A and B are shown apart, each in its own frame.
Chain A
């Protein structure tokens, strides 16, 4: 126990650095995947058959394969097959590759939630808009969008909380996120070797961050209550 207390300051420092990477990946993924998901949702709802089929194919591929494999492909494929290691070996390259994989992956999941939200708005709302002489895009932006947002908050909250924990997958391409940082103490890191507890301790970081997120998302849900 005293050994753990002695190691605590160093370990916390290293885990914080790792957790910053985790948070960066989390926020960058959300910022990228929110709009991209909407684009994909429009694509899959398009009346233009080739477009909707192509979108559905992409969504199928991305949702149908493990994110871990997608990370490996995006990071190693350019160097292995195209003989052009575009990401480089450094920390930044690994982060960019991980962000790309996460944004594409999560955008596909979001797109299906958006689609459900948009199609779940009662048809009467659209008809009312048409009667008022609004165009399709006016109906979307002025009538449907906010109602859709209200509907998708619970399923999106679910995905967002899953995303927090999924960021750990990025360790497969050696992104130094918190699990990687915690695990490195088992081998030896920052002068501490053979310490198991930091790996398990990382769970608290996820737990606390997800607690905060749950509260915030719960509030958002309440705020959108006025559409009843």
Chain B
């Protein structure tokens, strides 16, 4: 009896131990199959047998070494990592993703013959998401900094942006040039272009997790000023917004937006071609006009 019991328990334990590792083996059948093996017309994911899954895995590995483009076309979807960011990526009343970036991403996916799927990610984890293949690109008004270009395969710049200083509206007239900023304490997004700027100017600053957090710091009075993207500032600060008491003053630098892909991916080159074509035929500018960003558009 005892032996039977301990045997049962051993097996139960082995199973539950396997559960830790088996996050790798139990659920994967459908995802791997969907991700690698099948094309859009034939997704018999549930029926995939273990053998097929293995084949799919090797195929996925090959596709990765060969071509990221082929990998995306094989699985039939381009998974776009975004955060809600008006006017680049945001939802309309029906929950459809729209915005300059979202519309361009849809058009690009269509040109590859795949569907665009939008996934809201935690911006801090964008490189993890890319390398972990849970998304295929980061397309969300991403500033091309050294960190970004060294960690991702980036497209050509497509949009201009600047970093601007946010201060409470009632003291804004005291801070109209960079020299006046020295006695302020700043809140900036960790790893952002804004952080690099205030650091270069030798200003006192605190790093927070997002630009939105930086705004909250100013609103709450825990920091005197924040540095955020001008496109974002235009949408979020001033009369009629959630931050009616704040305003933006000095622009620190100018910078450019690009789209990030996995390191070494050939999708970046494909996107550059796509940008060039759609700029040439005017569709890119038309799209930019829809969202009021045509002034910031960069010639391709």
- Give the tally of cross-chain contacts (CB within 8 A): 166
Distance between Cα atoms of A74 and B2 in the complex (Å): 36
The chain B residue sitting closest to A135, CB to CB, is B1
B211: A residues at CB distance < 8 A: 187
Which of A51, A72, A93 contacts B13, CB < 8 Å?
Answer: A51
* Interface bracket on B: 35 or more
B237 touches A190 (CB 8 A): no
* Residue ID in chain B nearest A195 by CB atoms: B242
User: B83, A55: Cβ atoms under 8 Å?
Assistant: no
Is there an interface contact between A196 and B128, defined as CB atoms closer than 8 Å? no
Per-residue interface assignment for chain A, residues 64 to 85, with 1 indicating a CB less than 8 Å from any chain B CB and 0 otherwise: 0000000010111111101111
> Is B122 in contact with A173, judged by CB distance below 8 angstroms?
yes
Per-residue interface assignment for chain A, residues 84 to 108, with 1 indicating a CB less than 8 Å from any chain B CB and 0 otherwise: 1111111101001100100010010
Main secondary structure of the interface of A (DSSP, over half): helix
Indicate which residue in A83, A176, A186 contacts B64 across the interface (CB closer than 8 Å): A83
Q: Which stretch of B102-110, B129-137, B149-157, B265-273 is in the interface?
A: B129-137
1/0 contact trace for A162-183 toward B, CB 8 Å? Answer: 0000000001111010000001
When the two chains form their complex, are residues B23 and A84 in contact, meaning their CB atoms are under 8 A apart? no
Determine whether A34 belongs to the interface, using a CB cutoff of 8 Å to chain B.
no
Asked if B283 is at the interface of the complex by the 8 Å CB criterion, the answer is no
* Chain B: minimal CB distance from A47 (Å): 7
Give the Cβ gap from B138 to chain A, nearest Cβ, in Å. Answer: 12
- Flag if B210 contacts A193 (CB, 8 Å): no
Q: Which residues of A contact B90 (CB under 8 A)?
A: 188-189, 191
Which chain A residues border B299 with CB–CB below 8 Å? none
**Chain B residue nearest in CB terms to A80:** B132
Q: Is the CB of A196 within 8 A of B9?
A: no
Asked if B91 lies at the interface with its beta carbon under 8 angstroms from chain A, I say yes
Interface centre among A80, A83, A195 (most CB of B within 10 A): A83
Q: What residues of chain A lie closer than 8 Å to B237, measured between beta carbons?
A: 194
> Chain B residues in contact with chain A, CB under 8 A?
1-2, 5-6, 9-10, 12-13, 16-17, 19-20, 23-24, 27-28, 31-32, 34-35, 57, 60-61, 64, 79, 81, 83-86, 90-91, 93, 117, 119-122, 125, 128-129, 131-135, 210-213, 215-216, 219, 235-237, 241-244
A sample of 29 cross-chain residue pairs with beta-carbon separation below 8 angstroms, ordered by A number, consists of A39-B13, A39-B16, A46-B10, A51-B9, A54-B13, A74-B23, A76-B125, A78-B28, A80-B128, A80-B131, A84-B32, A85-B134, A86-B24, A89-B81, A90-B117, A97-B23, A100-B19, A100-B23, A135-B1, A136-B2, A174-B119, A174-B120, A183-B212, A186-B213, A186-B215, A187-B210, A190-B91, A193-B236, A196-B242
